[in-house]
A and B are shown apart, each in its own frame.
Chain A
Amino acid sequence: MAHGGTQAALAGHATHAGHHHEPQSFWRRYIFSTDHKIIAIQYLLTSLVMAAVGGFLAMLMRVQLGWPGRQWPLLEALMPNAFKGGRMDPDFYYGAVTMHGTIMVFFFLTTALSGGFANFLIPLQIGARDMAFPVLNMISYWLFPVAIVFALASFFVQGGAPGSGWTAYPPLSDREPLGQTLWLISVFILMLAFLAGGINYITTTLNLRTKGMSMSRLPLTVWTLFVTALVGLFAFPALMAAALMLIFDRVGGTHFFDPAGGGDPILWQHLFWFFGHPEVYIVILPAMGIVSEVLATHARKPVFGYRYMVGSTLAIAGLSFIVWGHHMFASGMSPTLGSMFMATTLAIAIPSAVKTFNWLATIYRSKMRFTTAALYAVGFVSLFITGGLTGIILGNPSTDLYFHDTYFVVGHFHFIMGAAALFGVFAGLYHWFPKMFGRMMNERLGKIHFWLTFLGIYGTFFPMHFLGTAGMPRRIYSWEAYQFLGDVATLNHIISISAFVLGAAQLIFAFNLFYSMFRGPKAERNPWQANTLEWWAPSPPPHGNWDEAEPVVYRWPYEYSPKYAPEGVDHIPQWLPEPAVATAGRDGAGAR
């Protein structure tokens, strides 16, 4: 933040009086708003609340796994039903497992990234005034709380929350009590919300770009959010179909999946993972876009290999639809089929590696400003590498048959999806907070938050790989009952303590977020001296985003430290007419 207010002056766009916005009531302005930025903030804040709920459930799970069988009188006093007689109730434990996974994947990561950041960034970064369908956008958000109500209600109905995990495999999910039906309805509504949102993101990106904003000049965030919406458009309907059939099974007495009536539970697995694998990319692709953007801005270097970044995004999105079988290696599929799924799975490693090397090349020999956002972006790269390597181990059917449904898988996906996507969210929040709220977050608190989170993540999820190699199954309530697991007690203590540190660190973030929202120092237009269009708008941008006319775009978004620039200029924003100092014929667009 110390880097002067000059960029605001360079943007030099005095706020014009004479705006013709009718005064709006509080309800129209903040609750039933059609402004993409308000909807973005609604999505973000709601999903952060859900992250807190999901995180709380995780802490309870770690209480049980760290010290199985121990009595917790304090927790009993707080939650008498969950801790009957001081011990965690097994049914509650499995409900917590299911709801933790569901909440984190659907209600936090997907909604924060594809609801929050997509809404905030797409119109601003392409120079539009709003989404193509603002009312549909509002409906998309309001379906989300409806889905939350259905999901959380399952805790309070007869039989409690479903215990079949976020994958809801039948026959267990065919038998569970009422909560499972509520879960299915909730997921169905949420998919509707995502589809409504996705249609907006795709049509807006394709149709509402401002002058000069060609597809080859889109910021990588917009690229990834756009491709993510496409992935969702193709993936969500599969789960919606599966959910409808399971609801039919449960309330209509049909037997699509229930083996007791001749149904086939493996069919559910196919449908679920045809959706489920693309879904994991739905959370990681936007995080990749955010990280690319944040790294380039704070490293003051152009993103390395822009075209390859776009190409690998498309490749990952396409491949993600033909790998679903790697979640079913242990379901008795034919070895031939298994090998085919192995081949497609390992093929994803190639575009993933392209991205990783490009990030490293972007950081390499840069003058990185280690802001909190930059730290989170670098942390993301570290987590992505660790999780990607264990993915390759699991992608081989021969090793996966051993690791399947052990804590090794839990370690893998928490690194690559849980933690990496979480880091993407944090990088984005610290980076765009000034634009969202017109105030700066506290960097000192941010850095403390980063380091505790980073160490907490490694401390929590790295040892899980060893639990997996020791044979500890996932979704287990009382591992101490198995003799061969006797020596994992120490690891489980370490993991639980790390998890509590990780959880506590988030309180620092929550404080920083809400304090800075109201009390933080006022932000300039462009505090990070970034090149993308949103930094041309006032902080926070008004309804309609641009004061008088949409900006015009002259070059790609990563013109950092260009050699041809005059002394003291280390970035040339997209909205600035091309300076003649540029070497003749040199066009800012494209890769370099």
Chain B
Amino acid sequence: MPTTTRKPPRTRHRLRRQGAAARPPVPVIAGRRVDTPGRIPPNGRGGGGGWGGGPGDDEARARAATMATWMVVAAVTLMFMGFTSTYVARSAEPGWARQDLPPLLWWNTAVLLASSVTMELARRRARKGLVAGARRALGVTTLLGLAFVAGQVAAWAQWLAAGVVASGSTHAAFFYLLSGVHAAHVAGGLGALLYGMWRLGRPGTPAQMAASMTNIATYWHFVDVLWLYLFALLLW
């Protein structure tokens, strides 16, 4: 039971204040004075806790946000891989009939592509610190995104009016499923765009602005590419 110490263990704050050369307090183990080399292992990454304060925290948070964005992209990709594998298996079965998709989808695709261009514009402007211009570009992106979702709904209406229902054929079922789940993800992206506009109105360095714009752009370009993929799959 004999272990005691006189001083609290060294903390990072103290380290910062004293510099690396300073001797930390000497703990006593088992009644003996134990000298401390004061060596910080070189392999420690260390990010600082997510508790505000120091610059390390912001960096760590920015890294975490970028990672989180890519993980969302990965998870959504995997879900659509699940749909795809079923699609491929079912389309190889006898009785598979492909119907012509509503022509409106071509227009919707163009709108979505255009929105990626304006998104990119927003991202570049934010990086240069042109906050007002970035907000305008984000606003246009949001409107184009809304137009895309509205266009998809109109395409469904067209197909339904033509009597093509989800229960009619597996191809039709996949069209409603894939475009519907995709549209839901675009709607999520619209939320991210609104958040981006709010974020640009708040204080922050150009680097921080650019970092969060990059994450939003990553997701937005992703749903764009995802739609190109789905459209090709359904056409093919």
Contact = CB atoms under 8 A, between A and B. Distances in A.
Interface of A: 3-4, 6-7, 9-14, 123, 127-134, 195, 198-199, 202-204, 206-217, 233-234, 236-238, 240-242, 244-245, 248, 252-256, 261-264, 267, 270-271, 274, 536, 544-546, 548-554, 565-569, 575-581, 587, 589
**9 A-B pairs closest in CB distance:** A241-B82, A129-B49, A253-B167, A237-B79, A237-B78, A577-B36, A129-B51, A549-B11, A254-B173
Contact of A238 (B38, B41, B76, B82): B82
Given A234-B78, A248-B177, A10 B46 contact: no
Given A566-B32, A576-B9, A589-B43, 4 more contacts: A211-B40, A262-B93, A263-B170, A568-B3
A566 to B, nearest CB: 4
A577 B29 contact: no
Contacts of A203: 63-65, 67-68, 71
B41 A214 contact: yes
A6 B4 contact: yes
Given A238-B78, A255-B173, A578-B37, A216 B9 contact: no
B10 interface: yes
Contact of B12 (A245, A271, A552, A566): A552
Contacts of A579: 27, 29, 34-36
9 contacts: A203-B71, A207-B63, A208-B47, A209-B47, A210-B46, A252-B173, A253-B167, A549-B11, A569-B30
Sorting the interface of chain B by its residue count into under 10, 10 to 19, 20 to 34 or 35 or more gives 35 or more
A255 to B, nearest CB: 7
Given A129-B51, A199-B72, A566-B30, A552 B64 contact: no
Contacts of A271: 82, 85-86
A568 B2 contact: yes
Contacts of B48: 208, 210, 550
Contacts of B181: 244
Contacts of B166: 248, 252-254
B45 A209 contact: yes
Interface centre among A195, A216, A254, A578 (most CB of B within 10 A): A254
Interface centre among B46, B48, B167 (most CB of A within 10 A): B46
B1 interface: yes
Interface string B45-84: 1111111000000001101110110011011111111110
Contacts of B38: 577
Contacts of B11: 548-552
B8 interface: yes
A248 B90 CA distance: 16
A576 B45 CA distance: 18
B15 interface: yes
Contacts of B27: 10, 12, 576-577, 579
B90 to A, nearest CB: 7
Contacts of B2: 6, 568
B202 interface: no
B114 interface: no
Contacts of A576: 9, 27
A13 B82 contact: no
Interface centre among A128, A132, A133, A216 (most CB of B within 10 A): A132
B28 to A, nearest CB: 9
A242 to B, nearest CB: 6
Contacts of B86: 241, 245, 256, 267, 271
B141 to A, nearest CB: 24
A12 B5 contact: yes
Interface in B181-216: 181
A252 B85 CA distance: 20
Contacts of A207: 47, 60-61, 63-64, 67
A263 B30 CA distance: 72
A271 B88 CA distance: 13
B151 interface: no
Contact of A546 (B49, B67, B83, B173): B49
Contacts of B13: 548-549
Given A550-B12, A550-B49, A9 B3 contact: yes
B64 A211 contact: no
Nearest to A581: B34
A254 B167 contact: yes
A548 B15 CA distance: 13
Contacts of B30: 565-569
Contacts of B9: 11-13, 536, 551-552, 575-577
Given A132-B68, A271-B86, A252 B167 contact: yes
Contacts of B40: 211-212, 552
A337 to B, nearest CB: 14
Nearest to B181: A244
A510 B42 CA distance: 46
A130 B166 CA distance: 46
A175 to B, nearest CB: 15
A256 B90 contact: yes
B89 interface: yes
Nearest to B176: A252
Given A267-B89, A271-B86, A580 B173 contact: no
Contacts of A274: 82
Contacts of A545: 49
A576 to B, nearest CB: 6
A587 B4 CA distance: 23
A308 to B, nearest CB: 19
A548 B10 CA distance: 11
A206 B42 CA distance: 17
B139 interface: no
Contacts of A128: 47, 49-50
Nearest to B59: A207
Contacts of A587: 41
Given A9-B4, A245-B83, A577-B38, A214 B43 contact: yes
Given A6-B3, A6-B4, A254-B177, A552 B32 contact: no
A554 B36 CA distance: 11
